[in-house]
Structure 1
Amino acid sequence: MTLPQGRDFQPPWPLTSGHIQTMLSSSGVRRTLLPKRAYRVLEGAQEVLVDGGDGIRLTGSFTAQKIQPESRGLAVLFHGWEGSVDSTYVLQTGSRLLEDGWDIFRLNFRDHGESHGLNEALFHSCRLDEVAHALSDIARRWPARVMALAGFSLGGNFALRAALQAPALGIPLNYALAVCPIIDPSEGLFSLEESAPWFYQAYFMNKWRRSLRAKQKAFPHVQYFELQELKQNLRGLTEALVLRHTDFGSLEAYLDGYSVAGHILADMQIPATILTARDDPVIPVTAFEKLELPSNVELDIAPYGGHCGFIQGWDMTSFCDEYIAARFNAIADAQAR
């Protein structure tokens, strides 16, 4: 079986623009134009709470496949920063995998979706322990022959770190796939500030500030931030919250805490794939080119795709769906043999 490769993605003009791909990926236009089958994962979805350990609760959504007598396996999907289980790319990927007989679990990170009132402490990107604990809970409650994980952007970063720890934690994870993951957070932060067009930072900051206000409303007795801090740029607000709400002594230490750059993934034991695009305006491709990876980790750099876009045409469907489904199916077929 020949698996699709990033070089196979050859979109028509003007979708050859990384900026257009990125802007369309989470746009309302895309949601409107996508075919109905892209939302099939919502049908019969069960909203659940999962155990993040130490009293932490995370929200998620489980959808059982009804295509074949026995499920191919359990596909777990991680959204990106300030996304949710209902982000377009998560719904589309989940719906595509459902068509091939996968059960789907979509997980919300802390303070994402409508979960701001569940846990008092703020979300930050180093909260891997609770995500890994949630994976263990998901695997226990929905046991499957195969468990495969896919994450997007920050969710891709979490997916790689969770896969790295899975064997030691006893999580029965068979495969992980990261789409445009954050590799070197310090470099990614600098890219948004210095080289990416201003509207990317404005977009993320607007969503983040809205999320922080929702958190403050949920826990009015806690002072999460000062109003003046909300007016800072991405770097300034991140540093203020890191120093106020974490044990990291500096912004640099925090960013290093969730980096997967350089040799960090060299000890990955399970099969994994990293898919990114050379024209991604949010995550610099140089970070991927510097990775030191074992033979079981595939790095695939496509010429086009933007940041988590990979939009094939004006029906707004994504090349990622077939790409992920083909690799998940290959893992399930190999396991069955």
Structure 2
Amino acid sequence: ILSPSRKHSLHISYYLFFQRPALVCSEAFGTFLYKHCPVVVEHFRPTPWCWGGRLQTLANAFLKSRPTINYRNELIRTVDGGQISLDWVDNHSSTAYPESSTRPTVLFLPGLTGNSRQPYVLHAIRQAAIRGFRCVVFHYRGFGEEELLTPVTYCAASTSDLEYAVQHVKRLFPNSPLLGAGVSMGGIILLNYLANKQADSGLEAGFTISVPWDVQKSCDSMEEPLNMLLFNRHLARGLCETVNRHRDVLQKVVDVDYVIKARSIREFDERFTTHLFGYESCAEYYRDASPAFKLHNTTVPILCLNAADDPFSPQHAFPLDMVKQLSNVALLVTAYGGHIAFMQGLFPRREGYMEHLFGQFVQAVFEHPEDLKEACSIKEVLINS
């Protein structure tokens, strides 16, 4: 099972061909996952009429149901005069954890233009809530329903707002274990935060879905003609609409009319993000934002799920060599699944592979913390099916 470095790509391709996810992690971490997250060794067979990554991504966006989740909104002020919007699911009816002060909490970070109403967020929150956990969704400045108070939004490399939110949650519930879960760009921010804060992150563990590991390579993939047509322009439009919505505040620092003419994510970052956060170029920003170059600085257990056919996160950018050297990180790669999709069954409207994996891992972290801590302290690495 233990594979030399030169054979890792061959083994990955072999497992993906037979549709069993490839798990790259230490032997001890793998043993923990096999025991407490059995979905990692199950064959993942995508919806039979929806095999390709692009089709999975598109179909999921239109077909996924939206379970009813009742949030309690909280606005917290930051030291620079801004505000962050948090949507809470307190779960006071939890029978597994009736005591609020010690009820485990999941902090969820949505994707690039996402919020707490996205189907993938709602289903993940449901998975955590039915297990008795408290949940809170972190919104990026200006991308919830709150007013933007200062001319600052967010970028994938900036973790100060997330740090402030984590500190706020820990002040409210100092005896409650906290897990961070991030999707796509939310995963980038979470991993960068864990790398920056290391043992002082305040989190017991991390979980990511469809993370673009190298932002430059992700951007290149998104600029392929079909991906540009299907995804890139749509996301850029959403970013521009948000800037235009907060025109009165942002026009103090950028030419809003110029920014909203951007037709791709890279153009938007060139005209807005790099300027707002002091980068000299997009290349510099993308390098700083890429978690693949910082993963070795993380210390808490992290489980990452990626699909080999994700148009947003190309497989050749997966940090396999780095993960091989880490005892605290597991990378689970499926052959199919697209971007934040992983749909199964003929009528894939409800929870699928990623939600089941998320629910099992969150429960394992909170119910077996000592086993997990011990598992992530051993440095033998393998690729398993």
TM-score, structure 2 as length reference? 0.78
> Structure 1 residues 171 and 137 mapped into 2: Cα distance closer, same or farther (>3 Å)?
farther
In the TM superposition, what are the counterparts of 1:241-260 in structure 2 within 5 Å?
241-260=272-291
How far, CA to CA, are the matches of 1:166 and 1:275 in structure 2? 22
What is the DSSP-based 3-state SS (H/G/I as helix, E as strand, rest coil) of the residue aligned with 1:149? strand
Task: Measure how far apart 1:139 and its partner are.
Answer: 1.8
Alignment-derived partner of residue 304 in structure 1: 336
Q: Partners of 1:161 and 1:49 in 2: how far apart?
A: 24
CA distance in 2, matches of 1:209, 1:93: 28
Find out whether 1:59 has 2:85 as its counterpart.
yes
* Counterparts in 2 of 1:132 and 1:26: CA distance versus 1, 3 Å: farther
The amino acid of 1:316's aligned partner reads: R
Deviation at 1:123, TM superposition (A): 2.5
Distance in 1 between the 2:250 and 2:270 partners? 22
Match of 2:235 in 1: 204
Where do 1:20-31 residues align within 5 Å? 20-27=55-62, 29-31=63-65
Q: Does 1:180 align with 2:216?
A: no
Match of 2:148, as an amino acid?
G
d(CA) in 1 for partners of 2:79, 2:162 = 9
Residues 271 and 106 of structure 1, relative CA distance in 2, 3 Å threshold: same
Counterpart among 152, 164, 188 of residue 183 in structure 2: 152
State, as a whole percentage, how many aligned pairs show the same letter. 20
Matched residue, 1:76: 107
Gaps of 5+ in 2: 1-34, 372-385
Once the two structures are overlaid, the 10-residue window that deviates more, 241-250 or 253-262, is 241-250
Task: Tell me the equivalent position of 1:102.
Answer: 133
Please tell me whether residue 316 in structure 1 is matched to residue 349 in structure 2: yes
- The answer to whether the 8 A contact 2:243-2:256 is kept is no
Give the 3-state SS of the residue equivalent to 1:26 in structure 2: helix
Give the CA deviation at 1:116.
4.6
Structure 2 CA distance for aligned equivalents of residues 196 and 290 of structure 1: 27
CA distance in 2, matches of 1:146, 1:159: 16
- Alignment correspondent of 1:329: 363
The total of aligned residue pairs comes to 325
Tell which has more relative contact order, 1 or 2 (C-alpha 8 A, sep 6+).
2
* Cα distance between partner residues in 2 of 1:328 and 1:220: 38
Alpha-carbon contact 1:53-1:133 (below 8 Å) kept = no
Deviations 1:228-248 (A, max 9, x none): 443233222321224532311
Q: Is residue 6–residue 303 contact of structure 1 (8 Å, CA) maintained in 2?
A: no
Q: Assess, with a 3 A threshold, how the Cα gap between structure 1 residues 122 and 145 changes in structure 2: closer, same or farther.
A: closer
Residue type of the alignment partner of 1:12: T
1:109 is paired with a residue whose SS is: coil
Post-superposition offset of 1:286: 1.1
Compute the displacement of 1:150 (Å): 0.7
Q: Secondary structure in 2 aligned to 1:50?
A: strand
Rg bigger for which structure?
A: 2
Q: CA deviation at 1:132?
A: 1.4
Per mean C-alpha deviation after superposition, the further-off stretch among 142-151 and 94-103 is 142-151
SS in 1 for 2:246: helix
Q: What is the Cα deviation at residue 222 of structure 1?
A: 2.2
2:317 to 287, 291, 315: 287
2:260 maps to: 230
- Paired letter, 1:67: S
Give the superposition deviation at 1:6: 7.2
Assess, with a 3 A threshold, how the Cα gap between structure 1 residues 159 and 226 changes in structure 2: closer, same or farther: closer
Q: Give the counterpart letter for 1:285 in structure 2.
A: Q
Q: 1:136 to 1:220 in 2, by over 3 A?
A: closer
Q: Take 1:187 and 1:221, find their aligned partners in 2: how far apart are those partners?
A: 31
Give 2:219's match in structure 1, choosing from 189, 201, 225. 189
Consecutive unaligned residues of structure 1, counting only runs of 5 or more, are: none
Q: Residues 124 and 172 (structure 1 numbering): CA distance in 2 closer, same or farther, change over 3 Å?
A: closer
Secondary structure of the equivalent of 2:105? Answer: strand
Q: Distance in 1 between matches of 2:313 and 2:226?
A: 9
Q: Is the 8 A contact 1:166 1:173 kept in 2?
A: no
Q: Which amino acid aligns with 2:317?
A: A
Relative distance call for 1:282 and 1:100 in structure 2 (3 A) is same
Given that residues 308 and 333 in structure 2 are in contact (C-alpha distance below 8 angstroms), is that contact kept between their aligned partners in structure 1?
yes
Q: TM-score, normalised by structure 1?
A: 0.88
> Would the aligned equivalents of 1:176 and 1:271 in 2 still touch at CA under 8 Å?
yes
Between 152-161 and 284-293, the greater mean CA deviation after superposition: 284-293
82-91 or 327-336: which moved more? Answer: 327-336
Answering whether residue 52 of structure 2 is matched by residue 17 of structure 1, we say yes
